A and B are shown apart, each in its own frame.
Chain A
Amino acid sequence: MGELIIEPWIVDETTHDFFVPEYIENLAHQVLKHYDLSVRNMQIITTKPDKGGAIWKLDTKSGPKSLKLLHRRPTRSLFSLGAQEYLVKVQAARVPPIIKTKDGKNFVEAGGKLWFVAEWIEPLTPVSKDLEGAKQLCYALGEFHRLSKGYVPPQNAEIASRLYKWPKTYEKVLKKMDWLRNIAKAYSDMPASSHLLNGVEKFEQQAIQSINSLNQSSYYDLVQQGNAYWGLVHQDYGWSNGQMGKNGMWIIDLDGVAYDLPIRDLRKLISGTMADLMKWDTTWVREMIAAYHEANPISPQLYEILMIDLSLPNEFYKNLKEAVYEPEVFLNEQTAQLIQTIIETDQSKWPVLNEIKDDWKGVKTK
């Protein structure tokens, strides 16, 4: 469709929330012409201006739909769209069905990106922000992982897989620790720098430990099973992308799915939730894992990997890796406080991991 190439756009004081450049709005209308929908109204719901993505809610004769402009490379988006279709059509999973174009396709290519329309699931309500809610999320996640097994992407899609990349990812965490140390030293006059150094001293050792554990684990054997065996991770799962619908939990926003060991999603959900609690809690962690296990059984080997992934200084890394960008802004009082909180929260992590590490000993999976 023409020569236009969609690029990220600038938002500032002069633009309203969810501003989308006019040429993209126009493209959206062009895209809709490929669908057999009578759209009464369309409303922008969210944007990713820095990446060039957007979502609209469509009010149509046949009910509410979503129109998405996917910011990723088209071949990458093909992988995710294929997954969404597989989950709905083959596995009857509770993820939004894709609406076909007039000529029977899953998407429209415009402005160098892929666009697609899917059902807008209503009503959806977030589960409660307590242990019960967390367990519901975990169960739904397990279900999602189980159903995603066996997915084979379409021919022309690129293979999005993180399955073999764990060692590299772990090494990167360790490498960044050194970067952060050097940044803290170069910016020693900033309020957060001494805290950052403290954090690095502590968490660098943890990262080394995690790498050693991973190298000695069954990781290398497990990944031999291959991508399709393990299925997909969502990569952005939590209280907003897993919500309760009429007939159970729905999982939305599948654009970032990739092959991986499934427990990485679970690990993220657990460590993120503990960060929100500002304290690690054995009961929460145990019950979250148990809820997941019920829907997608975790083998003792996989449990071991989960423990190792939990041992990585995930929260420190996630929050501090940005320090290499503009340290003269980032390393302020608030970041100092943030590091303190992370260090304090980490204190309670180790007794919990220690307590649950043998939970799977002797457990047999079906």
Chain B
Amino acid sequence: MKILMIGTEKLPIPPILGGAIQTYIAGTLPYLSKVHDITVLGISNSQLSDQETVNGIRYVRVPGMIFEIYKEHVVKFVEANKFDLIHIFNRPRLVLPIKNVAPNSRITLSMHNDMFNPEKISPEEATAVLEHVSQIVTVSDYVGNVIRELYPQSSAKIRTIYSGVDSERFLPGNHPKMQKRRNEIRKAHGLENKTVILFAGRLSDNKGVDRLIRALPDLSKKFKNLALVIVGSRWFSQEGISDYVAYVRALAKRLPIPVVTTGYVAQDEIQNWFAAADLFVCTSQWQEPLARVHYEAMAAGLPIVTTARGGNPEVIIEGVNGFIVKNPENPKGFVDAISAILSDKSLMKKMGEEGRKLAVSKYRWDRVASELLKFWADAMKSSVTELKDINPISFEQPEQVFMTKLKDKVHAQPENTKSKESEKKKSKKDQKKLDKKLKKEQKKLEKKLKKEQKKREEKLKKEQKKLKEKSKKDKKRKEDKKKKSA
């Protein structure tokens, strides 16, 4: 079968800049391409050529970053090429324009987050999209259920295919291939003889690492030799540090245990940090689709503490490969869950082993690929719909603000995967160079940070001087008043 897989306008494929969707595509391609004739359409990148065929897979790369521009190029490509099936990743708004130029192809969708929500796609367009796609696959039951709630008619078309992990790359720290790296990392960062708690993710209020940091004073009273490792790249950003990062830093500074913050870690080195850790904690506060880090932690043989938010609990068997924190706003939930693991060494070991087992038996890419192949085969059995009345359907960006939504909104909206400005910039020949560059930029930003600190101090001094003068004046006024009344 001739199949076209279409990525998003944000990040290139293969995942040289990371990204969950891009990792998903790259992980399944080796298996899918053995069965089908596959073309991957994605965005161009200076490190990648615009047209190439690698291992029998054809890659076509067009300008992206902005949805409307990407859409235009995608439509042009689809118009000029024929496919039996077109599989679109996480962009329901591409469906109708594509259907319009490929009326005889089956169209399937892969949903990775909330792109069906009304502020992302108008209900009118969404309804038409759901009519014209053959099938929809989601990365968690949670993602599927949100679509079902919004559009009950879609229910029968939706199924969950959990993502996967390269269990040969993510390995437990005691695996012969990993022991050396584990020891090197632990030595280099003063983590020898420590029980290392790992957090990996964006430093944002949504992801909630502050709750873990606030749980640590209590935990460190109960358990000796704890250490925290935070793998996440937003300690420094282009606009200086965000107030959230400042807050987390300030809290971390006062912890009685060592805190290692890695900053940016290159894609092909992340597994080493998992291997160096002893326990994995996900602190997400928002309704998250299902964070990939869970699979990676499992493969690395780490016991997992995660939160009852979004799809995250779906890959945890409570008490077997980890624990689920019911009320993640309260740090105490993390104290309890982490304590339960740390206080029982045999349970801790068992959980890690169970996690590894699960990763190998359930969450490998070959399993994801075979489910996807079945999914496509089923999609081919569905009848091709006919696109009528295309004109009245608005392809426009839906209104940004839905007042009803605004009023009811409790949880923060997930952020789109954004490639960092610095990552976008300029051509680099390979990952290492990119890595080097990022490190350099980090240094630059540290410098900027220092400068900012100095500025703040000066501002503070000025304000305090003003205040002093004010209170002096005030005092004088009061005294004058006294004199007068006297």
Q: Which residues of A contact B (CB under 8 A)?
A: 8, 10, 12, 50, 164, 167, 175-176, 179, 182-183, 186-187, 215, 220, 223-224, 278, 319, 321-322, 324-330, 334-335, 337-338, 341
B474 / chain A contacts, CB cutoff of 8 Å: 278
In the bound complex, do residue A321 and residue B471 qualify as a contact, i.e. CB atoms below 8 Å apart?
A: no
B456 / chain A contacts, CB cutoff of 8 Å: 322, 325-326, 329-330
Given contacts A187-B254, A322-B456, A329-B457, 17 further A-B contacts (CB under 8 A): A8-B448, A12-B454, A50-B451, A164-B403, A175-B205, A179-B210, A182-B251, A187-B250, A224-B403, A322-B460, A324-B250, A325-B241, A326-B457, A328-B253, A330-B460, A341-B467, A341-B471
**CB-nearest residue of chain A to B457:** A329
B247 part of interface (Cβ distance < 8 Å):
yes
B210 / chain A contacts, CB cutoff of 8 Å: 179, 182
Contact with A along B251-265 (1 / 0, CB 8 A): 101100000000000
CB distance from B300 to the nearest CB of A (A): 31
Chain B residues numbered 386-422 whose CB sits less than 8 Å from any CB in chain A: 401, 403, 406-407, 409
Q: Which residues of B contact A (CB under 8 A)?
A: 205, 210, 214, 241, 243, 246-247, 250-251, 253-254, 401, 403, 406-407, 409, 448, 451-457, 460, 463-464, 467-468, 470-471, 474
Known: A164-B406, A167-B406, A325-B246. A334 touches B464 (CB 8 A): yes
B407 / chain A contacts, CB cutoff of 8 Å: 167, 215, 220
A337 / chain B contacts, CB cutoff of 8 Å: 467, 471
Complex A-B: 15 CB contacts under 8 Å: A50-B451, A50-B452, A164-B403, A167-B407, A179-B247, A182-B247, A186-B251, A186-B254, A278-B470, A319-B463, A322-B460, A325-B246, A325-B453, A329-B457, A335-B464
Which of these, B205, B251, B401, B460, contacts A329 with CB under 8 Å? B460
In the bound complex, do residue A321 and residue B243 qualify as a contact, i.e. CB atoms below 8 Å apart?
A: yes
**CB-nearest residue of chain B to A50:** B455
Known: A278-B474, A321-B243, A338-B467. A326 touches B403 (CB 8 A): no
CB distance from B463 to the nearest CB of A (A): 8
Known: A220-B407, A334-B464, A338-B464. A186 touches B250 (CB 8 A): yes
Known: A50-B452, A322-B456, A334-B464. A183 touches B250 (CB 8 A): yes
A330 / chain B contacts, CB cutoff of 8 Å: 456, 460
The CA-CA distance from A326 to B247 in the complex, in Å, is 9
B452 / chain A contacts, CB cutoff of 8 Å: 50
Which of these, B246, B460, B467, contacts A324 with CB under 8 Å? B246
In the bound complex, do residue B247 and residue A183 qualify as a contact, i.e. CB atoms below 8 Å apart?
A: yes
A223 / chain B contacts, CB cutoff of 8 Å: 403
B253 / chain A contacts, CB cutoff of 8 Å: 328
**CB-nearest residue of chain B to A327:** B250
The CA-CA distance from A233 to B205 in the complex, in Å, is 29
The CA-CA distance from A220 to B407 in the complex, in Å, is 8
In the bound complex, do residue B457 and residue A10 qualify as a contact, i.e. CB atoms below 8 Å apart?
A: no
B453 / chain A contacts, CB cutoff of 8 Å: 325-326, 329
Which of these, A10, A183, A325, A328, contacts B451 with CB under 8 Å? A10
CB distance from B174 to the nearest CB of A (A): 35
The CA-CA distance from A167 to B409 in the complex, in Å, is 10
The CA-CA distance from A223 to B251 in the complex, in Å, is 38
Q: Which 3 A-B pairs have the closest CB atoms?
A: A334-B464, A324-B247, A186-B254
The CA-CA distance from A187 to B470 in the complex, in Å, is 27
A220 / chain B contacts, CB cutoff of 8 Å: 403, 406-407
Most chain B CB within a 10 A radius of its CB, from A50, A325, A328, A329: A325
B471 / chain A contacts, CB cutoff of 8 Å: 337, 341
The CA-CA distance from A50 to B449 in the complex, in Å, is 11
B251 / chain A contacts, CB cutoff of 8 Å: 182-183, 186
A164 / chain B contacts, CB cutoff of 8 Å: 401, 403, 406
B401 / chain A contacts, CB cutoff of 8 Å: 164
A215 / chain B contacts, CB cutoff of 8 Å: 407
A322 / chain B contacts, CB cutoff of 8 Å: 456, 460
**CB-nearest residue of chain B to A321:** B243
In the bound complex, do residue A324 and residue B243 qualify as a contact, i.e. CB atoms below 8 Å apart?
A: yes
**CB-nearest residue of chain B to A186:** B254
**CB-nearest residue of chain B to A325:** B246
The CA-CA distance from A94 to B250 in the complex, in Å, is 46
B250 / chain A contacts, CB cutoff of 8 Å: 183, 186-187, 324-327
**CB-nearest residue of chain B to A278:** B474
A12 / chain B contacts, CB cutoff of 8 Å: 454
B406 / chain A contacts, CB cutoff of 8 Å: 164, 167, 220
The CA-CA distance from A179 to B409 in the complex, in Å, is 21
B403 / chain A contacts, CB cutoff of 8 Å: 164, 220, 223-224
B246 / chain A contacts, CB cutoff of 8 Å: 324-325
CB distance from A237 to the nearest CB of B (A): 20
CB distance from A341 to the nearest CB of B (A): 7
The CA-CA distance from A186 to B464 in the complex, in Å, is 23
The CA-CA distance from A278 to B476 in the complex, in Å, is 14
**CB-nearest residue of chain A to B329:** A178
CB distance from B471 to the nearest CB of A (A): 7
The CA-CA distance from A341 to B357 in the complex, in Å, is 61
CB distance from B451 to the nearest CB of A (A): 5
Known: A50-B452, A167-B406, A327-B250. A182 touches B214 (CB 8 A): yes
A324 / chain B contacts, CB cutoff of 8 Å: 243, 246-247, 250
**CB-nearest residue of chain B to A330:** B460
B448 / chain A contacts, CB cutoff of 8 Å: 8
The CA-CA distance from A215 to B410 in the complex, in Å, is 13
B451 / chain A contacts, CB cutoff of 8 Å: 10, 50
A183 / chain B contacts, CB cutoff of 8 Å: 247, 250-251
A321 / chain B contacts, CB cutoff of 8 Å: 243
The CA-CA distance from A175 to B205 in the complex, in Å, is 10
The CA-CA distance from A186 to B252 in the complex, in Å, is 9
CB distance from A318 to the nearest CB of B (A): 11
**CB-nearest residue of chain B to A334:** B464
B463 / chain A contacts, CB cutoff of 8 Å: 319, 338
The CA-CA distance from A224 to B251 in the complex, in Å, is 41
The CA-CA distance from A338 to B471 in the complex, in Å, is 10
Most chain B CB within a 10 A radius of its CB, from A224, A321, A330: A330
